Amino acid sequence: STERGRRPLDYKIKIEEKKKDSCVFCEGNEGKTPPEIFTFRKKGTRENSPGWKVRVVTNKYPALKMEEREAALEKAGMFWKMDGLGVHEVIIETPHHHKDFDNLSIDNI
């Protein structure tokens, strides 16, 4: 019914977009993250500056760290356990990460 469409909403949906300057992953805030270790960027743009499409940085709070040693392997009952070794990086898939995937252009996917 067309009348039903005129009723007030009990709950208004409030969409808040993060301010660009408050998010370390937004384009333009490259200085707020560790230096990039890999990137896809527009030609003619400099490292650690705007103009990237995908950016990879080291994680400031890694779950794993690269170490120059072998993982200690030990028997624990019927199981084996070992230390966690590896690298923990952050992949920033798009400079428009506040947008939903279905709202990104083909170039940004």
Whether residue 73 lies inside any domain: the answer is: yes
Q: Are 47 and 38 in contact (CB under 8 A)?
A: no
State how many domains the chain has.
1
Structure tokens at 13: 């949906």
Domain membership of residue 4 (yes or no) is: no
Per-residue model confidence as pLDDT tens digits over 6-18: 666 666 665 555 5
Q: Which residues contact 1 (CB under 8 A, 6 or more apart)?
A: none
Q: Are 71 and 83 in contact (CB under 8 A)?
A: yes
Closest alpha carbon to 84 in 103, 61, 57, 62: 62
pLDDT tens per residue, range 26-41 = 999 999 999 999 999 9
Residue appearing with tokens 């707020």: 32
- Tell me, yes or no, whether 10 lies in a domain: no
Q: Domain range for residue 27?
A: 16-108
pTM over 0.75: no
Q: Is residue 69 part of a domain?
A: yes
Confidence at residue 2, expressed as pLDDT on a 0 to 100 scale? 61
Q: Is residue 8 part of a domain?
A: no
* Within-domain flag for 68: yes
Q: Residue 52 domain-assigned?
A: yes
Flag whether 84 is in a domain: yes
